[in-house]
Amino acid sequence: MTVVAAARGVTKRFAPRGPAALDDVTLEIAAGRVTGLVGPDGAGKTTLIRILAGLLRPQSGQVEVLGGPAGAMAGDVGYMPQRFGLYEDLSVRQNLTLYAELRGLPRAEHDAVFDRLLAFTDLKRFQGRLAGQLSGGMKQKLGLACALVRTPRLLLLDEPSVGVDPISRRELWSMVGALVDEGIGVLWSTAYLDEAERCAEVCLLNAGRRLFAGRPADLTQRAAGRVFRLEAFAGGKRDVLARTLNRPEVSDGTLQGRSVRLVMAAGEGAPSPKLFAAGEGARVIPANPRFEDGFVDILGGAGKGTSALAATYAEAPRGEGPAIEARALTKRFGEFTAAQDISLNVARGEIFGLLGPNGAGKSTTFKMLCGLLTPTSGQGFVAGRGFAASGASARSRLGYMAQKFSLYGDLSVAQNLAFFAGVYGLRGAKARARTEALVEIFDLSRYLPDNAGALPLGYKQRLALACAVMHEPPVLFLDEPTSGVDPITRREFWTHINGLVERGVSVLVTTHFMDEAEYCDRIALIYRAREIATGTPDALRAQAAALTGAADPTMEDAFIALIEAADMAREQAAA
Amino acid sequence: MGRLWAIIVKELWSTLRDPRARITLIVPPILQLMIFGLATTLEVKNFNVGVLNTSAGRASYEFVEKLAGSPNVGRIVRLTSPDDLRRAIENQKVIAAVIIDARFDRAVAAGRPATLGVVLDGRRSNAAQIVGGYINAIAAGLAPGRAPPPVGTIVRNAFNPNLDYLWFTMPSLIMLICAVSGLAVTAQCVARERELGTYEQLLVSPLRTHEILIGKMIPPLLSGLFNGLLYLVLSTTVFGVPFTGSLILFFLTLVLYLLALIGVGMLVSTLARTQQQAFLGSFLVAVPSTMLSGYAGPVDNMPPWLRTLSLADPCRHYLVIVQGLFLKAMPAEAIWPSAWPLMIIAVVTLSAAAWLFRARKE
């Protein structure tokens, strides 16, 4: 095994007294395999990659790249930053030409290399198109192609799969697989834990520290023999999940369709269903451990299953109609139809998921339902109120949380809370009491005077949720709420959401995380502006199993199978 | 009302806590005060004059002595030949050169009208014109009584008896600073939300469009009032400019002027996608507005189409008001013709901004 790049004991601080972005991190990248750099946002992945690329200098530690110091062998290193420097106003081919010239590829070789790369990335059909008009997945492929204009010996990929739908993600992986077979050493950084399992070696970072290095299976193995599935229980799944998480014997628990997936604490064997008062018919079945189980285990297991937020939350009113309703929503931007005839109902106390590839119309649908976009035709209702007739009244009944941190970073935590209390009409003693309760629930008191923008990521997430539920809305809109956060914070977030749903709150969520999809009661799959499938996660999996014949497909398999079936149906209709 | 209060407080904090906004708030007023108040002057002092004297009479001697004695003249450079004179002007050793030949003394002695030659450096046209004026004045005072001018003029400078340039610039600075910093602060407000991703969070809240926009008008309004007050106090105390008008009218018209500027800035902000664009946009508006205001050159000297265009410029109307209030004790009925255009500009731009804000939500 040849090591093409190594960082040993690397420490990097951006402010002399500030927290370490990287704290004594060691990493080796071997030729001919994919090394995964895995961890949530803010873990230090990008900093480490920039150090390896020679763009940053660490305060201490050694860095060796292709036998020299970082940055010395730039010609043999391919580097694809998070938002690749594509020139959006240049065409695909012009971008390639530009990078070929920047990297000194002889003119005579241009055509041959471009043909090979365009075939490799399947972009040949689009070479005349402007880079700005490509989809997220295609942009990443073009970025990869640009990083490969001169075949590198080391390829550094910074979160290539962010914002890329599962289909494009699989394509990227198979492309990188082909490169590895040529003997290139690849570093692939990602916040998606399921991607870790595809890497030969993994370096797991959290908050600047290396938690694990080695084969991913070794981390997964930590949870071996402790993972079970609780099935066929009586009572609500969220209720049972909360009860299991509250048991000291249980280290981690998540929903998986109609079953609960459990990781028992170290030293515990298979639990009896009686432990959770899950009813007569409940069964406990051993399940396969996953990389994430090992990660959660290192971090000390998930928290408790009862949400303090839900305990104080006003019960959502019982109305006759659905909490969220879409009636034949259609949105056109000029010639382009972004969403076509979408109808759905979300009942009181239901979590409804919107899934779909990028640019398929999922965000457009979401925005029409929370009043950010006015539909071209059709109507959207929240708690029985239409946006067309009574926008402000509908808006005062919904809470909204976006994927990107969208609070005021220059304002303090206290000022952010005060602003949202005021905007949602809370005043005087009531506003104070509610704010104090939220500060208590989310443990924000020590951060009150700090700028919200400077909070650790997990606390930003908490503050965003606190502001969204300030006015105890009966309807919540969540736009990729936990992308990039660590698994503990994600579990805590869903514990709150599950608790609120038990109080009758309805939730509409868009997500790329298949884990999050599992928390939904029902899912609508949006593809090419249309709703191609709607149902419970189990039903969608069953539908996919019927299509492909595979037994027990994952949510991601189901997603891909249903989209491929939709493509096939469309081609047949066209033929 | 609670919602409106919440957004006003939030806007004030965002302006005060955002480092970039803080800079646009603090730096321009100080910089402008330093540059306009202390560095640039409209007077010409300390200039050098060349003298090519080929006469040797009493009158020419007297003239050169008077010239040298003038408090504005720095040094007299004696020139020996026309070539010498050309070089002195070319190398900017002197801004003006006086040519005196023998006929000058003879004419003065004979009591006939005498002529001096003056060469001015046209590259510095403004200063040269003023120097030309000084030289004329000295020449005119050379022979009082001996050759009385047929018609005399006695000049009394109304409102500014000593023609102190600060009396003109300091009031105009209030117009300038409000335009520069008011536009910059307002232009950032919507664009900043768009760029930081807080825009959608704001739009899904029960806030109405007018509440959002009113909230965003408060910081530039307050900062403009503060600047106005600061310059008013400094002009009258430090720089000794008299304020003869009504303070109530001063603040009322200042608010009108600021509302008009905020309307323009808000239009820029709703059109801009990023803070960068908003900043460039506010620059694009601020420069021509101050140029057309009449500060740099009288509006009456502009070609007719520019004069018409300047009617839409809030700076033009406010300049008339602020100078009138400082120097002329302008009463309300004299201010009115300049005040109502400000109202119209404010109403039109603010409604257009609100309409655009709604239209560009998506």
Q: What is the domain partition of chain B in residue ranges?
A: 47-140, 161-361
Q: How far is A156 from A386, CA to CA, in rounded Å?
A: 49
A-B Cβ pairs (cutoff 8 Å, strict): 84
Q: How far is B188 from B220, CA to CA, in rounded Å?
A: 10
* Listed range (A81-90, A234-243, B37-46, B98-107) with the worst mean pLDDT: B37-46
Q: Can you read off the two tokens belonging to residue B126?
A: 């403004």
Q: Which residue has the higher pLDDT, A571 or B37?
A: A571
Rg (Cα) of chain A, in Å, rounded? Answer: 25
Q: Which of residues 457-516 of A touch B (CB under 8 A)?
A: 477
Q: How far is B233 from B247, CA to CA, in rounded Å?
A: 12
- Closest by Cβ to B197, choosing from A393, A406, A412: A406
User: Around B308, how many Cα atoms within 13 Å sit in the side-chain half-sphere?
Assistant: 3
Kind of pairing between the strands at A324-333 and A3-13? unpaired
User: E-assigned strands of A201-298?
Assistant: 201-206, 209-214, 227-231, 250-256, 259-264, 283-286
The answer to whether the beta carbons of residues A77 and A15 sit under 8 Å apart is no
A119, amino acid identity: A
Which residues of A are less than 8 Å from B25 in CB distance? none
Cβ neighbours around B45 below 10 Å, total: 9
DSSP H or E segment with residue A518: helix A514-518
DSSP H or E segment with residue A47: helix A45-52
- Flag whether pLDDT at A378 surpasses 70: yes
Tens digits of per-residue pLDDT, A399-415? 999 877 788 888 999 99
Can you tell me the mean pLDDT for A418-439? 91
A235: helix, strand or coil: coil
Question: What's the distance, Cα to Cα, between the start and end of chain B in Å?
Answer: 27
Burial of B303 (0-12, 13-18, 19+ CB in 10 A): exposed
Q: Can you read off the two tokens belonging to residue A423?
A: 């905007």
| Residue-level length of chain B | 362
Quote the CATH superfamily of domain B47-140: abc type-2 transporter like domain (3.40.1710.10)
* pLDDT-based confidence at residue A509 (cuts at 50, 70, 90): very high
Asked if A425 is an interface residue toward chain B (Cβ–Cβ < 8 A), one would say yes
Tens digits of per-residue pLDDT, A136-156? 778 888 888 888 888 888 999
Cβ partners under 8 Å of residue A431, min gap 6? A418, A421, A422
The answer to whether the beta carbons of residues A243 and A304 sit under 8 Å apart is no
Alpha carbon of A49: minimum distance to chain B alpha carbons (Å) = 26
Can you tell me the mean pLDDT for A424-439? 90
- At residue B143, the pLDDT reads 59
- Flag whether pLDDT at A56 surpasses 80: yes
* Listed range (A70-84, A328-342, A439-453, A474-488) with the worst mean pLDDT: A70-84
Chain A residue nearest residue B197, CA to CA? A406
Tens digits of per-residue pLDDT, B162-220? 667 778 888 888 898 889 888 888 888 888 888 888 888 888 888 888 899 999 999 99
Is pTM, for the whole model, over 0.90?
Answer: no
Residue listed under structure tokens 């009531």: A430
Tens digits of per-residue pLDDT, A91-136? 888 988 998 888 888 888 888 888 888 887 778 888 888 888 777 7
- Flag whether pLDDT at A515 surpasses 70: yes
Show the low-confidence residues of chain B (pLDDT under 50): 145, 147-150
B333: helix, strand or coil: helix
Q: Which residue has the higher pLDDT, A378 or B157?
A: A378
- At residue B342, the pLDDT reads 94
- Closest by Cβ to A423, choosing from B19, B207, B361: B207
Mean pLDDT of chain A: 86
The answer to whether the beta carbons of residues A201 and A30 sit under 8 Å apart is yes
Q: Which residue has the higher pLDDT, A377 or A302?
A: A377
Can you tell me the mean pLDDT for A364-392? 84
Cβ partners under 8 Å of residue A123, min gap 6? A92, A138, A141, A142, A145
Chain A residue nearest residue B207, CA to CA? A423
- At residue A82, the pLDDT reads 77
Contact B208 A374 (CB under 8 A): no
Running DSSP on this structure, what letter comes out for residue A76? G
Question: What's the distance, Cα to Cα, between the start and end of chain A in Å?
Answer: 52
- CA A216 to chain centroid, in Å, comes to 20
Chain B residue nearest residue A394, CA to CA? B206
Contact B206 A395 (CB under 8 A): yes
Can you tell me the mean pLDDT for A148-171? 83
The answer to whether the beta carbons of residues A201 and A38 sit under 8 Å apart is no
A437, amino acid identity: A
Contact A406 B5 (CB under 8 A): no
- CA-wise closest residue to A462 among A437, A490, A425: A490
- At residue B151, the pLDDT reads 58
- Flag whether pLDDT at A84 surpasses 70: no
Can you tell me the mean pLDDT for A388-393? 77
Alpha carbon of B282: minimum distance to chain A alpha carbons (Å) = 23
Contact B198 A406 (CB under 8 A): yes
Alpha carbon of A268: minimum distance to chain B alpha carbons (Å) = 45
Q: How far is A190 from A160, CA to CA, in rounded Å?
A: 7
Contact A422 B9 (CB under 8 A): yes
Can you tell me the mean pLDDT for A375-382? 88
Can you tell me the mean pLDDT for A305-322? 82
Tens digits of per-residue pLDDT, A463-473? 999 999 998 99
Enter the ipTM. 0.78
Q: Put residue B115 in one of left, alpha, beta given phi > 0 → left and psi -120 to 50 → alpha.
A: beta
Count, in order, helices (H) and strands (E) of chain A.
19, 23
Which residues of A are less than 8 Å from B10 in CB distance? 408, 411, 415, 419, 422
